[in-house]
Amino acid sequence: MRNLAVLASGTGSLFESMIERSVPIRVLVVDRPCRAQEIAERAGIQHVLLEREWKSFDRDKYTVDMVNILRQYGAEYVAMAGFMTILGAYMFESGTFGSKCTNIHPSLLPTFKGEHAVRDALAAGVKITGTTIHIATKDLDAGLILAQEPVRVLPGDTEESLHERIKKTERILYPELLLGLMRDELL
Ligand code: GRF
């Protein structure tokens, strides 16, 4: 089994699903105070707050700091799970994490990239959307697709109800994929 670091920014429900499936997590890194830290604390998982600036954000410096923390904890793989800061190219270059960083996005990529994927899917009137796990690259929501699952859009869906249904699927798909990755069964 390999050492995995998880990056999160919010409620951390995907992070929680990884813990429930016994994905071996070495450290959680968050970019703002958030519920994910409480989940880590309760589970006895080390966690680090690498707080980001909002005015005059130095993305390259933040990325170097992130890589240093991940190395310090011996992370070999990195799973972004609702991490809302875009990291610089250094994170994804060979010699740092290269292709060993995954991201999960609440749409069937390459459609509906970006921060408002669920809202954009609703606005477009699609009947099916879903989730995608892919290798993270310096380009947003791009990179080799590792897994996808469709999710039906139901009449009366709001952004919240649809996103919650997508997350239910993600909470099964992501831990499963990461366990395969950790056992060197993928890539
Ligand atoms: C997920 O929908 C994921 O696809 C997206 O952020 C959400 C994270 O959910 N990147 P949570 O904070 O783990 O509940």
C-alpha 11/C-alpha 169 separation (Å) is 16
Question: Which atom, in ligand 1's list, is nearest to the CA of 15?
Answer: 13
Q: From the CA of 109, how far away is ligand 1's center (Å)? A: 15
C-beta 13 within 6 A of ligand 1? yes
Question: What are the residues whose beta carbons fall under 8 Å from the beta carbon of 22, sequence distance 6 or more?
Answer: none
Alpha-carbon dihedral angle through residues 99, 103, 105, 109, given to the nearest 10 degrees:
0
pLDDT digit string (tens) for 71-100?
999 999 999 999 999 999 999 998 889 889
pLDDT digit string (tens) for 19-70?
999 999 999 999 999 999 999 999 999 999 999 999 999 999 999 999 999 9
The pTM for the full model equals: 0.95
Catalytic residues: 105
pLDDT (0 to 100) of residue 104: 98
Measured CA to CA in angstroms, residue 169 lies from 78, 108, 151 at distances of 20, 13, 8
pLDDT digit string (tens) for 124-149?
999 999 999 999 999 999 999 999 99
